[in-house]
Every structure is written in C-alpha cells, then in structure tokens.
Amino acid sequence: MYQGLIKRYRHLLPVDDSMEIITLNEGNTPLIEVPAVAEAAGFSGKVFVKYEGLNPTGSFKDRGMTMAVTKAKHDGMKVVMCASTGNTSASAAAYAAKAKMSAVVLIPDGNIALGKLAQAMIYGAKVIAVQGNFDDCLRYVKELCAKYPIALVNSINPYRLEGQKTAAFEIVDDLGYAPDYLLIPVGNAGNISAYFMGFTQYKETGMSQKIPKLWGFQASGAAPIVENRIFEKPETVATAIRIGNPASWEKAVKARDNSLGRIEKVTDQEILFAYRLLATTSGIFCEPASAASVAGFIKYAKDLEKDSTVVMVLTGHGLKDPDNAINQAPEIFHVKNNLKAIEEVVI
C-alpha cells in the first residue's frame, strides 16, 4: 500500500527512524499525456502534465508540508505558521490537524481563491486576512517565527523543498528517463528550485542521465525574476502566483541557469486561454496559476527542440478556484420545470 512520499523516497530525504512521519499519503500523482495540447501548439514531441492537483489538499504544497510538519513535530513545536496565497495555508492547516498541532495562516485579504479559504477554515487553522499582499504577509510571519517558538512552514523552510523535490523523482520513475524540458509556474520560486534539486540528485545517484531544461513562467503582472526587479503591486488573475518579491529568487535563477533553462512571462489572457484549452481538449482541470505552464508551452513551443519530451507541472486543482472557472466557461441554461423547455435546449 502506498503510504506517502517520505516512505517511498526516505533514502533520499533528511529523515531518520526516530521521526514520527506526518502524512496524508501525498505524492504518487499521475503523469498524463496530453496530445491535444501538443497538437494545438503545433508541436511534434511527447507532452505530459504532472497533475499535482491530485495531492490530498489539491496542490503540490503537500509534498513539502509532510516534510516540514514531520520535522516541526519532531522538534517539539506546537504551532506552525505560514504566509500564503492560499495553497500553502490549506496544506499547512491539514497537516497540522493530522499532527495534532495548531496552524496560523496569514493570507492577503480578498485575494485568495474560494476553495483554498474554505480548506484552511475547515481544517481548523486560525486564518488571519491581512490588508496587504503576500510579500507583506511573509515579512510578518518571519518576524513572528523569529520571536516565538512557532515553526515557519513557508518554502524558506529547507524541509519544504526536500519534500517537493520528490516530484522530479516520480517523473523520471514514471517515464523511465528524464524529460528534455520541465515547464513550471513560478511564484515564490520554491518549486522550480525543488525540481532542480530533485533532478540533480537523481543524476548524481545514477538514477537518470540528465537534468531537464527548467522553464519557469511568471504572470506578466507579477514577473520579478523575468524583469529583474521587485513588483511592489503584483497583479494577476492567477492569485496563487501574485507575488512581487520571491523568497527563493536566487535559487530559481541558479536552477534556470544551471539547467540551461529560461524564465519567461505569460499574460493573464494567455493563462486563461491555456486554462480553458486544457479542460476542453484533455479533460484536465487545473487552477489558473497552474495553467501558466501550459500557456508557456503554447507561447514558446516554437523554441523547443523537435520531437523532445516535455512535462508541464499542474501545481493545483481547478476546484480550488470555482469563481474563475465559472467566469471562463460558457453560460448555463436556466429552464422551466417541463420537458418541452428542456427539449428545446437539448436539440
């Protein structure tokens, strides 16, 4: 029986037998081929999505959280805390509940998707909506965690990236080889750094031949790494990556450069086009931030080597953000309670 990523990859993770593993059986997410997306972009190679929305709380954050909360529990901490655009708060709240710890989450008031807010609340976290953006929230969290015995579980906690790197292992294990390219959304820039760690470790331990080129994508209204400047007022429909001053900025630049990759920007319009395309052509529903990978693929497919293998990371589930889905979809039909009315719409 599958029992989570720590158990599966413990020989490659900083854990020892004295630790109680806090897990919700995260990881082991499917790699799904999406030929319709390849075709839409006029690309001849093999194209897959790594559907991280199928983790227990609906995002890749669970990979990092199983590690960070396991470590915090082992260290005798009682409280975990994070700043979040939504997914980290949902994940922290769930793993804290599992660990019998409490969670405090700081979110930018009015700028997180509805599903994520619902999750943090129902898992029992103390939810603090700050009249500021993510970058402000992270600053406060760092100060409070330095002052009190509270475990910080944002991705500046090194255990987070250790857990997240296992997605790279799974991709190589599933394909049987390392892909040529990995395309991924970039917000706080932890995940692209984690994939680089994972692919590097697999190469160094002889589990794969090479490190894929890592191509990161930021929203054009929140593109600090692409433009090499802090965005004081980041704006994008993809609220998960509405971040103006990423904590793992330098690590991400290193991941980009050492993998011979790129970090580019995609507009909200391109993100939403990709979001609908993936759903309507492939039956896969991700949240807008995740569609930045697909938008980047469509925009830059012309620059990818012919007949190569591409993996796009879908970081979060579409159900996280029902408001955007409803806004982007065709109207529904409202009808009277009789067969005739329904028949008119059907035929």
The binding site for ligand AN7 (CB under 6 A) comprises 59, 84-88, 155, 185-191, 240-241, 287, 289-290, 315-316
Q: Judge whether 97 and 105 are in contact, CB under 8 Å.
A: no
- The least distance separating ligand AN7 from the CB of residue 240, rounded to whole angstroms, comes to 3
37 CB-contact burial (10 Å; exposed 0-12 / middle 13-18 / buried 19+) = buried
Give the DSSP H or E segment for 49: strand 46-51
Q: Which is nearer to ligand AN7, 19 or 129 (CB)?
A: 129
Q: Judge whether 101 and 72 are in contact, CB under 8 Å.
A: yes
Handedness of CA 77, 201, 61, 170 (dihedral sign): negative
Q: Which is nearer to ligand AN7, 41 or 241 (CB)?
A: 241
Q: Judge whether 9 and 28 are in contact, CB under 8 Å.
A: no
Q: Which is nearer to ligand AN7, 198 or 209 (CB)?
A: 198
Q: Judge whether 210 and 179 are in contact, CB under 8 Å.
A: no
One-letter amino acid for residue 119 of the chain: Q
- The least distance separating ligand AN7 from the CB of residue 185, rounded to whole angstroms, comes to 4
Q: Which is nearer to ligand AN7, 185 or 221 (CB)?
A: 185
3-class secondary-structure state, position 61? helix
Q: Judge whether 268 and 324 are in contact, CB under 8 Å.
A: no
- The least distance separating ligand AN7 from the CB of residue 83, rounded to whole angstroms, comes to 6
- The least distance separating ligand AN7 from the CB of residue 133, rounded to whole angstroms, comes to 11
- The least distance separating ligand AN7 from the CB of residue 176, rounded to whole angstroms, comes to 27
Q: Which is nearer to ligand AN7, 163 or 185 (CB)?
A: 185
Q: Which residues of 138-157 are buried (b: 16+ CB within 10 A; e: fewer)?
A: beebbeebeeeebbbbbbbb
Q: Judge whether 114 and 90 are in contact, CB under 8 Å.
A: no
- The least distance separating ligand AN7 from the CB of residue 242, rounded to whole angstroms, comes to 9
Q: Which is nearer to ligand AN7, 109 or 307 (CB)?
A: 109
